[in-house]
């Protein structure tokens, strides 16, 4: 199920976020995600996202899973990601982000 993030009701995105893998989405990761303070899973892999990983990802303190591989994201991993203490597989996430 591919979705357009900016047009979703933010409360619904909490349940749907895991379905944005391989949807052909492009551009920067949407600022809309920064409003999802209770977000637990962010799977946005195998799209055409570009730019840097936004600092706001580190403020998603309930995040347990983060997958961004298969995009065109560049630049350093933000220091704010060190605040994501609930990540189930932080080393795996780091590998995806640096490859």
Q: pLDDT tens-digit profile of 71-98? A: 999 999 999 999 999 988 655 555 455 4
Confirm if 47 and 20 have CB atoms less than 8 A apart: yes
Q: Is 44 helix (H, G, I), strand (E, B) or coil?
A: coil
> What is the C-alpha to C-alpha distance for residues 54 and 31, in angstroms, rounded to an integer?
8
> What is the C-alpha to C-alpha distance for residues 57 and 78, in angstroms, rounded to an integer?
9
Q: What percent of the chain has pLDDT over 70?
A: 70
Q: Is 66 helix (H, G, I), strand (E, B) or coil?
A: strand
Q: Which pLDDT does position 40 carry in this prediction?
A: 87
Task: Centre a 10 Å sphere on the Cβ of residue 72 and count the other Cβ atoms it contains.
Answer: 10
Q: Which pLDDT does position 12 carry in this prediction?
A: 52
Confirm if 6 and 30 have CB atoms less than 8 A apart: yes
pLDDT category of residue 20 using cuts at 50, 70 and 90: confident
Domain annotation for the chain: domains and CATH numbers: 3-83 (3.80.10.10)
């Amino acid at each position: 199920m591919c979705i357009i993030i900016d047009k979703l009701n933010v409360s619904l995105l909490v349940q749907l976020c895991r379905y944005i893998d391989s949807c052909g989405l492009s551009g920067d990761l949407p600022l809309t995600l920064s409003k999802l303070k209770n977000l637990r899973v962010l799977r946005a892999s195998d799209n055409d996202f570009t730019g840097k990983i936004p600092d706001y990802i580190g403020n998603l303190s309930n995040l347990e899973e983060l997958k961004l591989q298969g995009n065109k994201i560049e630049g350093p991993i933000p220091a704010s990601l060190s605040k994501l203490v609930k990540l189930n597989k932080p080393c795996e996430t780091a590998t995806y982000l640096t490859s």
